[in-house]
């Protein structure tokens, strides 16, 4: 399930960032931004599907995968912009999952000249907070496990995001669960309890969402919590060219659970640009 290609390194102002750069197609370059705690391999089913028609760049976000941890204040958008300028890509399509979706909206707001279009999955803007009891309790359990140093328990809680509230981990592909565990365990091992959090958020992102002039697609699993789906709808309605799609029967990782459907919707969107 891993992508068999060698990672490249970009020397940023604070250590090296790792990324996969593949594909020789003539379509718009596509940058894949992964969810929290994992790495670029979460896109293993999308990278080869996209690479025939597009240059595909899949970044390990700072502090994740093979990328350096932060040692000074940083913003996700600045890291992405630095990489794109280093690679001289021209405007790109940003495709972000969960945390990666926030990175995508942050980047288009801060660096609109670098972005051709945006796809967000399992995300809205930085101000969104889950309010449903299941997600809030899962987040609290993960925090408790991490504070207690219970890595195994934390991983057990983390992978429950894949099936969501109304299914168990027995209901989903075990290979995807294993990949999530492997990636999250590797990222967790890069960090120490109580280390300083250098992340600086981009503020007022929803208030500024109407500034987003490029096409934006929200692409979510139908089993996401209702408040997540509502926030995605609000984002699509607020930007200047927003669209929504839902993959039925899946939760927070539609790209893992129904990759063929996800890839078709994504390809159809790319062909409209």
Stretch 77-81: mean pLDDT, rounded? 98
pLDDT score for 6: 87
Q: How far apart are CA 263 and CA 49, in angstroms?
A: 7
Stretch 237-243: mean pLDDT, rounded? 97
Q: Is 257's pLDDT higher than 50?
A: yes
Class of 8-129+195-271 per CATH? alpha beta
Looking at every residue in the chain, the average pLDDT score rounds to: 95
Q: Where are the domains of the chain?
A: 8-129+195-271, 133-189
pLDDT tens digits for range 1-57: 344 468 999 999 999 999 999 998 889 999 999 999 999 999 999 999 999 999 999
pLDDT tens digits for range 149-160: 999 999 999 999
Q: Is 206 helix (H, G, I), strand (E, B) or coil?
A: coil
Q: How far apart are the first and last CA of the chain?
A: 30
**Which of 21, 20, 54, 12 is CA-nearest to residue 39?**
20
Q: How far apart are CA 238 and CA 250, in angstroms?
A: 25
**Which whole-number Å values give the CA distances from 144 to 139, 147, 157, 228, in the listed order?**
9, 5, 10, 24
pLDDT tens digits for range 97-134: 999 999 999 999 999 999 999 999 999 998 898 899 99
Structure-token pair, residue 104: 């995508």
Percent pLDDT > 70 in the chain is 98
Stretch 60-75: mean pLDDT, rounded? 98
- Using the structure block, give the residue that is written with the tokens 């995968």: 65
Q: Is 239's pLDDT higher than 90?
A: yes
**Which of 60, 62, 65 is CA-nearest to residue 13?**
62
pLDDT score for 242: 98
**Which whole-number Å values give the CA distances from 9 to 59, 171, 272, in the listed order?**
10, 37, 32
> How many helices (H) does the chain have, and how many strands (E)?
9, 8
């Amino acid at each position: 399930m891993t992508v068999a290609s060698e990672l490249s390194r970009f020397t940023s102002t604070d250590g090296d960032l790792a990324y996969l750069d593949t594909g020789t197609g003539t379509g718009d370059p596509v940058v894949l931004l992964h969810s929290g705690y994992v790495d670029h391999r979460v896109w293993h089913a999308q990278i080869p599907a996209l690479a025939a028609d597009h240059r595909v760049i899949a970044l390990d976000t700072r502090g994740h995968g093979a990328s350096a941890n932060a040692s000074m204040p940083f913003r996700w958008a600045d890291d992405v912009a630095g990489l794109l300028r280093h690679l001289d890509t021209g405007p790109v399509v940003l495709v972000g999952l969960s945390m990666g979706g926030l990175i995508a909206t942050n980047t288009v707001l801060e660096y609109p000249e670098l972005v051709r279009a945006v796809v967000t999955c399992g995300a809205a803007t930085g101000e969104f907070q889950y309010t449903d009891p299941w997600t809030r309790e899962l987040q609290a359990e993960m925090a408790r496990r991490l504070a207690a140093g219970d890595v195994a328990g934390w991983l057990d809680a983390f992978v429950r995001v894949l099936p969501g509230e109304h299914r168990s981990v027995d209901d989903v592909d075990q290979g995807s669960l294993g990949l999530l565990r492997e990636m999250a365990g590797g990222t967790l091992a890069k960090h120490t309890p109580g280390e300083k959090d250098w992340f600086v958020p981009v503020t007022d992102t929803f208030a500024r969402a109407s500034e987003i002039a490029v096409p934006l697609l929200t692409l979510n699993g139908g089993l996401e919590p209702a408040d997540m789906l509502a926030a995605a709808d609000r984002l699509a309605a607020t930007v200047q060219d927003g669209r929504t799609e839902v993959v039925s029967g899946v939760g927070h990782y539609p790209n893992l659970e129904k990759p063929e459907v996800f890839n078709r919707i994504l390809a159809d969107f790319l062909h409209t640009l």
